[in-house]
Amino acid sequence: MKSNLIIRKYDTTKVGGVKSSKEIKSFLGSKLIDIEDVIYVNNISIQYSEIVDKVNIQNDHYQYYDINLLHPEVNILKSLDDVKYENHSIDIYSQKMPKLNSVNQNYEWILVIDAKNILREYLFLRLKESRIFKTIKSEDLIERNINSYIYDYINDNLLNRYNISELNFYVSYFDVVQNSTVFTKNQVLSDPNFNKNVFDETNRVKNVNIITPDYLNNLDTVKIIYNQIKDNKTYKFDYYFTVSYKKI
């Protein structure tokens, strides 16, 4: 047999061990990150640091350190209020007709909360804060982006370890008769405002109407119906919410 028919020459390439974000579990154990048993998404802020490679910004290189010391770390402070604000919506669900002997005309409002993405963003901030992936370099990743890798890790390994344990809703009314800026041309009140100043036990709605079935046993979008209790031509309300999760 001729020697040139036998493949003798080959090259090897080092692999950083981070091509897949999926952790494999077995009866012998696993190396999953130890995360909080209970998560309470309230009004705190979380700070983390990262480096953005401005030269290669088209590749969106986010990383923890720069071996060439060309780019300093940047500190970023993210409020959980911002996370919640970005992951919910509120809109008129229906108009309630005035009751007998009453001139009040109110609305039912529907609040839609993306509970899964709020948890995802919280876990991302905590992992960035603790620098769990600080030894990984962006060039070792398929995405060339550590932030994308962290989100993939959360999606593959952490989200399915939680359920919602509690959701609290807060409301505070104020008279707006003298304030014409909150009225539209049709003299209908504009949408309520998400306001962290409403976060007080005295403003908590004790019997919140959550219409999402079995929301405590599946990490799904949560829908809340709130009946405005004061005349919408006179009063406007601000609102706030907190959400808690537990490990399952």
CA distance 78 to 165: 24
Give DSSP secondary structure letters for 29-70.
Answer: B-------SEEEE-S-EEEEEEEE-STTGGGT-EES--TT--
Length of the chain as a residue count: 248
Rg (C-alpha) for the chain, rounded Å, is 25
| C-beta separation of 133 from 64 below 8 A | yes
pLDDT tier, 186 (very low <50, low <70, confident <90, very high otherwise):
very low
Give the distance from CA 180 to its chain's centroid: 34
| Ranges of each domain in the chain | 89-114+166-247
Q: For residues 136-148, give the mean pLDDT.
A: 77
48/184: higher pLDDT: 48
Question: Does residue 213 register a pLDDT over 80?
Answer: yes
CB-based burial label for 61 (10 Å; 0-12, 13-18, 19+): buried
- For residue 70, give the amino acid letter: L
